[in-house]
Amino acid sequence: EAAVTQSPRNKVTVTGGNVTLSCRQTNSHNYMYWYRQDTGHGLRLIHYSYGAGNLQIGDVPDGYKATRTTQEDFFLLLELASPSQTSLYFCASSDVRKTSAETLYFGSGTRLTVL
Amino acid sequence: GEQVEQRPPHLSVREGDSAIIICTYTDSATAYFSWYKQEAGAGLQLLMSVLSNVDRKEEQGLTVLLNKKDKRLSLNLTAAHPGDSAVYFCAVSEGGSALGRLHFGAGTQLIVIP
């Protein structure tokens, strides 16, 4: 079973604050993702990466930066947090191969509140 | 871009009854289809996935149907039990150059009443 660990589990910050969400996966997966989950929208892709040093823009990237420092570690950065970024954030990883279907393994989520 | 609509947003069924959740998508190039389950306070877990060359797949009380003509994907829990109570999401992808990019439905909150 793939292991994806997110930290912190909960975070409260103020408008304009600087926040870093961390994610580590221990299964040598090549792809890692950051999603946000909001009622009525399901999960929306913020950024993703297919390897250390790589970054791809997702569907809702505005206001977010991300960095993949190693195969295992993927960070989501909110440098000037806004209340609209209050959400439940999920990290996921997958071992995407061209000949097989894509299965995502999710962390338990980080609930971020921006006051 | 791909648009995924999921319905119903909420579903209550009695134990032993079937529960059906439907997703429609817009991109005819969509090649990968999956269903995830999210239990309270947890991340999503894959239930079942199919590729576009499969019309029907059954596993452990779950049936996934894919109608490519109508761009419709469904999940049928044939005899629901209280442990099935959760939020269910469909997720689709083009594959190919879009490897790794899943588009999720908005979710269905399923409650199974004992």
Residue B64, pLDDT score: 96
pLDDT in tens, B57-70: 999 999 999 999 99
pLDDT in tens, A51-98: 999 999 999 999 999 999 999 999 999 999 999 999 999 999 988 765
Q: Give the pLDDT mean for B1-8.
A: 92
Q: Give the pLDDT mean for B33-42.
A: 92
Q: Does B80 touch chain A (CB under 8 A)?
A: no
At A89, which amino acid appears? Y
User: A54 CB contacts (<8 Å, ≥6 apart)?
Assistant: A68
A contacts of B50 (beta carbons < 8 Å): 101
Phi, psi of B50 (to 5 degrees): -140, 155
Residue A28, pLDDT score: 86
Q: Does B40 touch chain A (CB under 8 A)?
A: no
Kindly tell me if the per-residue pLDDT of B40 is higher than 80. yes
Cβ neighbours of B89 (radius 10 Å) = 26
Mutation target to probe the B interface, by most B beta carbons within 10 A, among A5, A34, A37 is A37
Compare A107 and A96 and report the one with higher pLDDT. A107
Dmax of chain B from CA atoms?
45
Q: Give the pLDDT mean for B20-35.
A: 93
Torsion of the alpha carbons at B5, B9, B13 and B16, rounded to the nearest 10: 40
Residue B110, pLDDT score: 97
